[in-house]
Amino acid sequence: MFRVAPTMRLCVPLLLLLPLVVGAGLGIAHAQPALDQAAIRKAVEPHVPEIQACYEAHVAKHPDARGKVVAKIAIGTDGKVTTVAASGIHADLETCVAARIKLWRFPAHKGPGPVAVAYPFVFTPPDAAPAATPAASKTAPEVDPKLVELFEQAVASAKAGKHAEALASYRKILETQKKGKLAAIPRFLATTHLQASYALIDLGRLKDAKAELKLVDTATFKKPALYDYQFTLGNVLGGLGELKPMFSAFVEAISVAEDLDDMDVRPQACWTKILAFTMKAKDWAYLDEVSAKALQVAKVRGWKDLELKASVSASEAQKHKRK
């Protein structure tokens, strides 16, 4: 049976605007972060094979391991990593990821203190792409080998950071399948559309990514892939400033996560995204509303980190509403 190698997808780093220890007191790190997302991502990309190696070693022992590991990194003014902690999926994987990141170097910056970054790595296990019967089998394949080959090429391009090439390959899969009426189960086509949306996001084409996501037949997905879809949709809508649809998408993602017995990592990630995108949009009335909801959930579930973020967001919203 054909299997696609386990893959990892880089997300956009979320710069944390939360209180950090600076000298002897507390203060907001940067109103305008000293390192932007592009600089951080550029520094991370050469090290992707290291993180991929961590995941491949882990998935060899835990074949169903999937999801997101969030690395919280403090970057000193000299570009060295001062502290790093990773959370999500499994302690062994988190330890490996944190150990690798500790040795990385980021661009130097002018401070005044460490830049705090939360960098998510999304991991997909070997069975995330639909399986296909070998061409030599007596039964018809679920996915034509030509399409399987194109899918592998697209995944390889994405892993290498060649997002335009990956997108072209995903497009070719869909065109080739439609033109030649080649065998392809619905889940394979849905996965291809979802992967194409990832490439579009990486290329900064959020409107096109939104359109691509509309083509995904989510009825073919199992729960883990359905979470990935809803989480991705939330990110795209948030990036476009469509806040209420974004909120609905993240709420759906939280519901799916809880169906997967994840009552912590993924739901908190969704709430964090809701707050971050609403803050970025400067919709202070809506930020006040979602901050109150996030704060309520955080207190009930004992999520201290989210409680702090929601409190900061609520204070910011109130400050601007009074103006």
On the question of pLDDT at 244 being above 90, the answer is yes
Condensed to tens digits (0 to 9), the pLDDT of residues 245-257 reads 999 999 999 999 8
Residues 210 and 151 in one domain: yes
Residue 25: exposed, middle, or buried by beta-carbon count in 10 A (0-12, 13-18, 19+)?
A: exposed
Residues 17 and 114 in one domain: yes
Residue 125 confidence (pLDDT): 63
Condensed to tens digits (0 to 9), the pLDDT of residues 34-74 reads 667 677 878 888 888 888 888 888 877 777 777 888 888 88
User: φ, ψ for residue 85 (rounded to 5)?
Assistant: -140, 135
Residue 126 confidence (pLDDT): 53
Helix (H) or strand (E) run with residue 193 in it: helix 186-202
Residues 195 and 92 in one domain: no
Please state, in angstroms and rounded to a whole number, the distance separating the CA atoms of residues 247 and 237: 9
Residues 262 and 158 in one domain: no
Residues 184 and 149 in one domain: yes
Q: How many CB atoms lie within 10 A of CB 214?
A: 9
Residues 183 and 240 in one domain: no
Residues 230 and 322 in one domain: yes
Say how many domains are in the chain: 3
Last residue of a domain, one of 124, 142, 161: 124
| 67-75 vs 115-124, strand pairing mode | antiparallel
Last residue of a domain, one of 124, 142, 167: 124
User: φ, ψ for residue 207 (rounded to 5)?
Assistant: -65, -40
Residues 182 and 92 in one domain: no
* 73 in a structural domain: yes
* 2 in a structural domain: no
pLDDT band of residue 141 (cuts 50, 70, 90) is: low
What is residue 132's DSSP assignment? -
Condensed to tens digits (0 to 9), the pLDDT of residues 146-185 reads 998 999 999 889 888 999 999 999 999 999 999 988 888 8
The mean pLDDT of the chain is: 82
CB–CB of 279/294 below 8 Å?
no
Residues 148 and 160 in one domain: yes
Residues 6+ apart with CB under 8 A from 320: 282, 284
* 178 in a structural domain: yes
* 1 in a structural domain: no
Last residue of a domain, one of 124, 146, 172: 124
Condensed to tens digits (0 to 9), the pLDDT of residues 226-236 reads 999 999 999 99
* 48 in a structural domain: yes
Residue 58 confidence (pLDDT): 81
* 25 in a structural domain: yes
Residues 299 and 226 in one domain: yes
* 257 in a structural domain: yes
Residues 243 and 319 in one domain: yes
Residue 158 confidence (pLDDT): 87
* 177 in a structural domain: yes
Please state, in angstroms and rounded to a whole number, the distance separating the CA atoms of residues 199 and 156: 12
Residue 313 sits in a domain of what CATH number? 1.25.40.10
Residues 194 and 295 in one domain: no
Domain carrying residue 106: 7-124
Residue 77 confidence (pLDDT): 87
